[in-house]
Structure 1
Amino acid sequence: MRSLLSFLKFLLIPFTLIYASVLSVRNLMFDWGFLKSSSFDLPIISVGNISVGGTGKTPHTEYLIRILQGKYKLASLSRGYKRKSKGFILADKHSNSLDLGDEPMQMNRKFPKLNVAVDADRVNGVQQLITNNNELKLDCILLDDAFQHRYIKPGLSILLIDYNRPISHDFVMPTGRLRESTSGKKRADIIIMSKCPKDLSQSKADELKKDIKPQAHQELYFTCLDYAPIEPVFKTSIELAQLNEAKKESLGILLVTGIANPTPLRKYLSAYCSDLNEIQFPDHYTFKDKDIHQIEREFNNLKTDNKLIITTEKDAIRFIDMKIESDILKKNMAYIPLQIEFLHKTKDQFDKHIHQFVENFN
């Protein structure tokens, strides 16, 4: 199997070279000024990555919201991946994941004071937010997944690199998983290596720093993902203490995910239960009625009476918007929010950098 995959990757090399060349020319056009990047009279922080797949952009963006929202009026702007709507939309109390996409809708529900907007044309999206600024009174805009969107020049650019998929050992698509050459990391002001082990040693961090080779102007941080206490997906009488108080040998969990990589969550949950079944759907999957029936069947097949359906926060948003009729899901489904933790006591340094950028803009 590995030899077959290696052979297929070998066949893709010409396409990789063509794609990489096109991207390099595009970036040079921006670097030399032939293609224009728009700047705005408002602090804009971009959060993005170079590789495809999850690097933890949403929990890192949510972290920025938490440290800024107490002092500043914020807006988030993303393209709204896989939404069914078009053009610029500013979320309100009637919005759902079909209008915004799952991740923007997650932030819209989670942060009531945040102005959540989506637009595939980020320049137009920022212009629309600024046009409405007499009403919104914004102090800062957060751009989600916009590292390659060079038509906007953010005041501060944060690049995420997955610890488990070092970009120095990867290739540009389609042979590898990189959206552009690793040289693109020079555009970042802050580089965060995400999804690190909690016990990452300082010596290992120093070794990784040598591999990343940050430039003199770039700050490098290491973060890990942590799981917050579980929450009910629906407002029911679910007994969430089950997960923390139940004995491992008596708890059954059905894990239902539509994300790029459910492995970390699976490993986390395996420590809490004796019977772990799993249903995996594609990333950003739109759940259907037949999927609900499958979930019910798999849940009923768990071999213990003490059992739960666990999903991710992003997936929970889509289940909520389905207006679920199933009593099994309503009474037994919970999600586990993700949060980030800065390693090696660098949280205060990072927070200070972010606050100083917003305060000192202009």
Structure 2
Amino acid sequence: MKNLHLINNEKITKDMIKLFDEAANDGDINIYVIFDRKINYGNDYSVYPHVLFTEDLGDLFHQYVYDNVIIHSLDIKKVSFFETHIKYKTNIIWLLWGGEIYNRPEYGYNKLYGRETLRLLLASAPLKEISKFVLNRFRANIGRMGKIKSFAKKVNVIGTTLHEDYLTAKKIFKIDPEFKEFNFYTLNSVGHEVEPNIMSIKPMQIILGNSGDPSNNHCEIMSLISNSTEELSVISPLSYGQFSYISKIIKKGKSILNHRFKPLTSFMDYRDYVELLHSVQVGVFGFRRQQGLGNVVYLIYLGKTVYLDPINPMYNFFIENGIAVRSLDSLKKRKSIFLINEEEAKQNRIEVFNLFARERCILLTSKLFI
């Protein structure tokens, strides 16, 4: 079976290559075409002869017939590449990352953000945000958005972790492909030998969000935890995102939380970031969409307490799978941040490992082609 992967050059790209190569049967061939050579996060693909960059291809792909084309996150670059290079009918598998649906006009401009975040966005870039709001109703079926929507009708399979994301994609694109569970993140890739680490230290170490993207709803979270009776140290990763928004969030954080707010504005090495996750006690995430799943899964596996917005489909996903996560709504009612107990932490570790163990992820990957 010959499989062509169209994938962006992201932090998880090398892990995806390793996962699909491990899941391949004898005789299967995986070829990876990577977009954006410059954005590499330190990735070195020189040891992979089956990895190519779009600018190196020329007319190479016109002559080949592929059994499957796997599109890792559906965007206009991959749609255009497919229509230019793939000349024969093939099975199309869309691995849904999240942004393809949540950033669509049909999803709704206001659904991702709380009121305070919306106000900050308008203050940061008023013309951009107002034009986005006004034009969104017209963008869904024209230009790039329209081209992606038209292409989505060719998709045979959607693979993703959350079934709710699949249902959202079906609704937005008015399509009915097959659903197959797929995990982008495997716990074994970070080492399953680590032990749960339930710490009771002061100040309580909290990680707020995973980036400087407004979908983290930093303002709302800072307001929620500002009245906490505990002594806190709030670490917020802000190394990438919208600069104008990030600068205002830093000012806001210092205003609301004072010395307790610790912004991280430099990109961290992967190992350093993993150490950071080990050092915190609590993760508080204001996402209203599936986002930062790898961070959340690993924190749960380490025995940390995780707070999620109940609007977020990740919240129900964990609850339905017997994993104890806390609701942000509880922070509105109390002035204390309640840590999970040892029994909950141990059970969380078992359940989340059962879901994201590498052996299971390899099995799910192999089933994409059945």
What's the TM-score, normalizing by structure 1?
0.40
**Bigger RCO of structures 1 and 2 (CA < 8 A, at least 6 apart):** 1
What's the TM-score, normalizing by structure 2?
0.39
